[in-house]
A and B are shown apart, each in its own frame.
Chain A
């Protein structure tokens, strides 16, 4: 009887890996906490009689100015948490999704803070009464800590403007990053005026402690997960370069050796942010994915040198010390939901695909590897992929050919004309998790193909590296 039940359950619905509901519960919880934190600061304002106190239009403008400031600051803190590399956030959303959310919150937060400044100036000016700019001057000179607050506003504008994608490409990444660090200063110098000018966080009030605890929590997370954890891990692992293998022109595999690497709990498909301690490279950090399954004493990455100093990576001397942040990312077997697996790579995107293939859970015949390139020759790690596919019973297909100009498909022009899609390439696609790694636009096109084949979001995995 119990056998019958099991059989029926199995037929009713393909088994979803228990990791998935657990991960989604975590994601839901984090999202709800973020939304409620916004509601909570508004509620604190209301509880303090903020709305009941409104009796004139000037009061209303002032109140709105306070609320925009509270919500904007709360969003800034959420943004900083998203960038703090919290393990829970990485496990629930993946680093790239967290950073995408971080980016999308930037402008709203800035607009709210700007509204805060403008509305309060208008509200105060109406009461004085004074002109707008006279009031700015009055605030600047007569209210405590306002010069610092204005400085914070200026810095915030600078940070967001330099972060807008167009400007970002005009600067070196490191310059942009340096400017970006000013956002921490902007948030810090805004604290005094919140405590001294505002009446909401007056001394001894409960909400003052809540507000300060928020700041302390965010600051603690940043210090712990962006600095202490990476430094401690790097010191303990003592990674050094033990070999650099030429894979193709400009593409190398870097073999690293260290100790106690199991404690990192790194998984195939994850990436680290690496720093190679040579004279020309130490000031740059690069995200590179593992191209082989991690062991207790070795890691391997496969890298294509692009433009900047990373083009000197092929000449990396053996014995170079390596520090790192990570491992990060959800491009792993941990995110699996279904029994079959499809791994799709283009260009250097083959690196995490290669390590995933090595350790992902699947039975012979349940895995397909699709390698996409312009010509058969410009593929990397093909021999390794072929050997792994043979050993594990996976199918390897290399799809070579130029894309037809003006079309938006991830497949070559002739394949498009022959109406070939992901669904026709892979048998039983609906029972598979699809992992995609390659250039951004190409990745988007594969994702679109997978969606139109009817795959739910939970079965489509991809990672971006353009944050």
Chain B
């Protein structure tokens, strides 16, 4: 290679790498920014008009639906999950709808974006006890992340069940799945007023 070709190739390669790095850093920052507000439902206490004690049968979550099936009134918790669209200011009702002492029902958490695809769970609560956590959607970008989330989901489920909260430790090697899973669980618990 001539000196000119070497220097041009070096220059071009370094620029390409720098651009790649920059785009990657930005994408990662915005990814974190995106998942942060979705965890926010914790601070917005279920602004929907949904009843605090829905009938479990009516709320059987649609597996495919990342919280978009807000059409039916029966799936109120699901609608509540998609807080972004929910008319927070339009709900003048002050404060939380005074949760019944012991929430019961199945509550769908928000869909949390991760670099490996969205994660969403539903939480079943009976008389104030978390009895089941069902994964509606897990990281699925590529076989590797399917394998990771398939491995992590049962661990997270049992930890949430035993801790009775979303405050459980990270499953190592499945950081993104863990973060998404627990954020969604927390959103569901908030909806339930748990």
Q: How many residues of B contact A (CB 8 A)?
A: 35
The 13 listed contacts between A and B (C-beta, < 8 Å) are: A28-B8, A31-B1, A35-B9, A38-B13, A42-B20, A43-B17, A45-B20, A46-B20, A47-B20, A47-B23, A47-B27, A49-B24, A202-B141
Q: A52-B25, A53-B28 are in contact. Are A39 and B4 (CB under 8 A)?
A: no
Q: Does A306 contact B (CB under 8 A)?
A: no
Q: How many residues of A contact B (CB 8 A)?
A: 39
How far in angstroms is the closest Cβ of chain B from A184?
A: 24
Contact B24 A143 (CB under 8 A): no
Expressed in whole angstroms, the Cα–Cα distance for A27 and B145 within the complex equals 42
Q: A24-B2, A48-B24 are in contact. Are A39 and B143 (CB under 8 A)?
A: no
Which B residues are in CB contact (< 8 Å) with A197? 142-144
Q: Does A424 contact B (CB under 8 A)?
A: no
Interface residue from B13, B23, B25, B142 paired with A35 (Cβ < 8 Å): B13
Which B residues are in CB contact (< 8 Å) with A38? 13
Contact A58 B23 (CB under 8 A): no
Which A residues are in CB contact (< 8 Å) with B73? none
The residue in chain A whose Cβ has the minimal distance to the Cβ of B173 is A127
7 more A-B contacts (CB under 8 A) besides A24-B2, A53-B115? A28-B5, A35-B12, A44-B20, A58-B173, A196-B142, A198-B142, A199-B141
Q: Does B96 contact A (CB under 8 A)?
A: no
Contact A49 B9 (CB under 8 A): no
Contacting A at CB under 8 A, from B16-37, are 16-17, 19-21, 23-25, 27-28, 31
Contact A199 B27 (CB under 8 A): no
Contacting B at CB under 8 A, from A3-35, are 24, 27-28, 31-32, 35
How far in angstroms is the closest Cβ of chain A from B138?
A: 13
Q: Does A145 contact B (CB under 8 A)?
A: yes
Interface centre among A31, A52, A193 (most CB of B within 10 A): A52
Which B residues are in CB contact (< 8 Å) with A196? 142-143
Q: Does B147 contact A (CB under 8 A)?
A: yes
Q: A42-B17, A43-B16 are in contact. Are A28 and B2 (CB under 8 A)?
A: yes
Which B residues are in CB contact (< 8 Å) with A31? 1, 5, 9
Which B residues are in CB contact (< 8 Å) with A199? 115-116, 141-142, 144-145
Contact A52 B17 (CB under 8 A): no
Expressed in whole angstroms, the Cα–Cα distance for A28 and B151 within the complex equals 50
Expressed in whole angstroms, the Cα–Cα distance for A196 and B175 within the complex equals 21
Contact B17 A55 (CB under 8 A): no
Interface residue from B1, B16, B172 paired with A127 (Cβ < 8 Å): B172
Contacting B at CB under 8 A, from A47-87, are 47-53, 55-56, 58
Contact A52 B28 (CB under 8 A): yes
Expressed in whole angstroms, the Cα–Cα distance for A126 and B174 within the complex equals 12
How far in angstroms is the closest Cβ of chain A from B20?
A: 3
Q: Is the interface of B mostly helix, strand, loop or mixed?
A: helix
Contact A49 B143 (CB under 8 A): no
Q: A47-B24, A142-B147 are in contact. Are A39 and B115 (CB under 8 A)?
A: no
Which A residues are in CB contact (< 8 Å) with B148? 127
Interface centre among B1, B2, B4, B24 (most CB of A within 10 A): B24
Contact A55 B175 (CB under 8 A): yes
Contact A39 B12 (CB under 8 A): yes
Q: Does A115 contact B (CB under 8 A)?
A: no
Contact A47 B144 (CB under 8 A): no
How far in angstroms is the closest Cβ of chain B from A268?
A: 27
6 closest A-B pairs (Cβ-Cβ)?
A: A43-B20, A127-B173, A39-B13, A46-B20, A47-B23, A199-B142
Contact A32 B143 (CB under 8 A): no
Interface centre among B10, B12, B28, B143 (most CB of A within 10 A): B143
Q: Does A281 contact B (CB under 8 A)?
A: no
How far in angstroms is the closest Cβ of chain A from B58?
A: 35
Contact flags (1/0) for A123-151 with B, using CB distance below 8 Å?
Answer: 01011100000000000001111000000
How far in angstroms is the closest Cβ of chain A from B35?
A: 13
How far in angstroms is the closest Cβ of chain A from B181?
A: 16
